Structure 1
């Protein structure tokens, strides 16, 4: 074997090793950050596995309103309950025998009749950042809509619980 042949083989081996190391470290970084390799690069809007740290589900934005919802897993439930003191409005959705519900359509209307939020909950808890004021919260589960008036005055102050006797 000539020196050029050995150098070429060595360079090819080093290149292959570097590429493998790069791919491996990328997969490791995705795993460490909680990104599923199958969904990497997709815009996931669900709360499972898409957290802002400490188990809190992804914070969404609609117009001037920020919100997050979830609470299906124990870590997420604890994070949402812990964080409700920092959010102006906290909502809870339950069904028969205090079962937690998800898939509740939530609409929040301001005091002057303008809709400020329209979304679907990803779990039994929803936290909403609204400016101080009076609002009406409409929560619809299956075909039953309920409403409650809330007065938002600051973080951790306004809470509303919605309960349905249907499954």
Structure 2
């Protein structure tokens, strides 16, 4: 029933907001979170997903988007590989140990996470660099 509710909610989100949603045999995900409305919706449905990944940079914690992200299992098998993620990625995976990897401007970040099937785990990948003056800054809530 939760899966059906999540799928219905994700379908409604696709119509209302520019989020990306996919479902496969091994995992499902919702990607988005640019803008206050998008972020609020992502946070409302986050409890339905065991893994929440956030991407940010700089002293102010500006959100990042269009970042390649790979999630591998404990056997180094790729379970999710996306080219344009962020700033928030919600992932439904089975219980287990995973590694989340992402690259921004040639700098790799990774984090290990254990999903217990009961709680949502939050992974924040943060790069210390500040955006250059020519880059648009995406603030949390924009």
Inter-partner Cα distance in structure 1 for 2:89 and 2:109: 16
Shift of 1:152: 0.9
Inter-partner Cα distance in structure 1 for 2:37 and 2:64: 17
Moved over 3 A (4+): 52-56
Offset from partner CA, 1:79-137 (integer Å, 9 cap, x none): 11111111010000111121010011110010011111110344310000111100011
Supply the RMSD in Å over aligned alpha carbons: 2.1
Distance 1:67 1:133, change over 3 A: same
Q: Which has the higher helix share?
A: 1
- Which ranges of structure 1 fall in alignment gaps of 5 or more residues? 1-49
Offset from partner CA, 1:56-86 (integer Å, 9 cap, x none): 8231135522111111121111011111111
- Contact kept in structure 1, 2:46 and 2:120, CA below 8 Å: no
Q: Which has the higher strand share?
A: 2
1:38-77, aligned counterparts within 5 Å?
Answer: 51-52=13-14, 55=17, 57-61=19-23, 64-77=26-39
TM-score normalised over the length of structure 1: 0.64
- Contact kept in structure 2, 1:71 and 1:125, CA below 8 Å: yes
Q: Considering only CA atoms, is the larger Rg found in Structure 1 or Structure 2?
A: 1
- Contact kept in structure 1, 2:20 and 2:32, CA below 8 Å: no
Q: Does 1:129 align with 2:73?
A: no
Q: Does 1:147 align with 2:141?
A: no
Distance 1:143 1:131, change over 3 A: same
1:8-27, aligned counterparts within 5 Å?
Answer: none
Distance 1:155 1:84, change over 3 A: farther
Q: Does 1:84 align with 2:46?
A: yes
Q: Which has the higher contact order (CA 8 A, sep 6+)?
A: 2
Aligned pairs, how many?
118
TM-score normalised over the length of structure 2: 0.74
